[in-house]
Amino acid sequence: MTPQSIEVNSRSYRWMSRPVVVVCVDGCEPAYLDAAVAAGVAPYLARMMKSGANLLADCVVPSFTNPNNLSIVTGAPPAVHGICGNYFFDRELGQEVMMNDPKYLRAGTVLAAFSDAGAKVAVVTAKDKLRKLLGNRMTGICFSSEKADQVTQAENGIDNVLDLVGMPVPSVYSAELSEFVFASGVKLMETRRPDLMYLSTTDYVQHKAAPGSAAANAFYAMMDRYLAQLDEMGATIVLTADHGMNDKHDAQGKPQVIYLQDVLDAWYGAGKARVILPITDPYVVHHGALGSFATVYAPDEATAAQWIERIRAVPGMESVMSRTEAAQRFELPPDRIGDIVVVSERHTVIGTSASRHDLSALEVPLRSHGGVSEQRVPLICNRPVTGVAGDRRLRNFDALDLALNHAQ
């Protein structure tokens, strides 16, 4: 017997009455949607925003991919699910590691809970780094565009994806990597009709192209066509983003970078501090591993307290706080962040040492994310929503709540 509702991480979700599709558009600053609609290239999005729900929400800080995607699928902040970056310093191992192993997850996902209860669930993500996290303990279909040619029934719950979608495997550095996600979603809805589907794209385009640019408008026009098809098949669609995106350069197009490891080494001696950049992942060509959030490991807590005021005075810093303050303000797991958390201002990024960042592959002036300045994201639904208090602070991880509990 199908349950009426399911509880996950202290939140209750009603069983879907029609297919539900939640879309996380990586790097989707709200201005991208506004510009595409104003240019007339996204007629479905225009209709969706006018006749459905057109809201704004706050993403998780650090405004990076992994913590926000996991927040969306768990309906909870990193303090609950444990994923607080793409990359972190594992104190137990004494090593810097990628945070894409499901062993780091501390909470179950809404996707897994619905699949356990008998729902047909599908997940398509652009990059494979997210696949195992999103599909953790989930029964159903789960694959990435990046490795769509390697899917198997045993590992991914589906095979012959390239034949199904009718596209070749895209380059990881391309708009087509995201298009493959949308094309897969439409084909899965046509052929498998999942009850619940999660689609997650990559921000390759957003790192290179500002809102309203030809490349950005072409991307959102593409997305618009696929969303319209999902709508025609009767799906409830909620679209949000993992983070926004901003220019991180000066008027001449030169990156504005605080190389914090170099700064601390100069002040206190080489190796006294360890600067960790949670934006770090294997795909650094478009951002050079530079974002607006970093954590610092100091020799001890007393040292960290003394360093904070001095780091605050560095030009381009927006906020510098202790581990305890940051964990409380940003709802982060305190054992997985440094002694000091550093956030730079809107047009500045943080690096480690200048020698460790190769910016030669940047074809356009640097655009990136990670700070509070990239926290505002869209939260839109193709149906009107009711029962959402006007004074409620909406989060991107309210997407499933909106789709399952409030969409009409």
| pLDDT one-digit tens code per residue, 223-239 | 999 999 999 999 999 99
Residue 192's contacts (CB-CB under 8 Å, 6 or more residues apart) are: 120, 122, 141
pLDDT > 70? residue 197 = yes
pLDDT > 70? residue 98 = yes
* Confidence at 384, pLDDT banded by 50, 70, 90: very high
- Sign of the dihedral through C-alpha 329, 330, 335, 337: negative
The angle subtended at Cα 370 by Cα 381 and Cα 397, nearest 5°, is: 30
Helix (H) or strand (E) holding 380, with range, is strand 376-381
CA 376 to CA 304: how far, in whole Å? Answer: 30
CA 159 to CA 229: how far, in whole Å? Answer: 23
pLDDT > 80? residue 87 = yes
pLDDT > 70? residue 29 = yes
Choice between 94 and 68, residue whose per-residue pLDDT is larger: 68
- Mean pLDDT along residues 368-381: 98
- Compute the mean pLDDT over every residue in the chain, rounded to the nearest whole number: 95
With contact defined as beta carbons under 8 Å apart, do 200 and 181 qualify? yes
Radius of gyration of the chain from Cα atoms?
21
Alpha helices in 12-159 (DSSP H): 30-38, 43-51, 65-74, 78-81, 110-116, 131-134, 153-156
Query: Cis before residue 77, ω within 30 degrees of 0?
Result: no
pLDDT at 117: 97
pLDDT > 70? residue 288 = no
* Confidence at 283, pLDDT banded by 50, 70, 90: low
292-329 pLDDT, tens digit each: 999 999 999 899 999 999 999 999 999 999 999 999 99
* Confidence at 280, pLDDT banded by 50, 70, 90: confident
- Mean pLDDT along residues 6-13: 98
* Confidence at 285, pLDDT banded by 50, 70, 90: very low
* Confidence at 282, pLDDT banded by 50, 70, 90: low
Helix (H) or strand (E) holding 97, with range, is strand 95-98
CA 89 to CA 78: how far, in whole Å? Answer: 16
CA 240 to CA 220: how far, in whole Å? Answer: 14
58-80 pLDDT, tens digit each: 999 999 999 999 999 999 999 99
Encode 129-147: b = buried (16+ Cβ within 10 Å), e = exposed.
bbbbbbbbebbbbbbbbbb
Residue entry with tokens 């494979």: 128
CA distances from 153 to 120, 139, 150, 156, 162 (A): 15, 11, 10, 5, 14
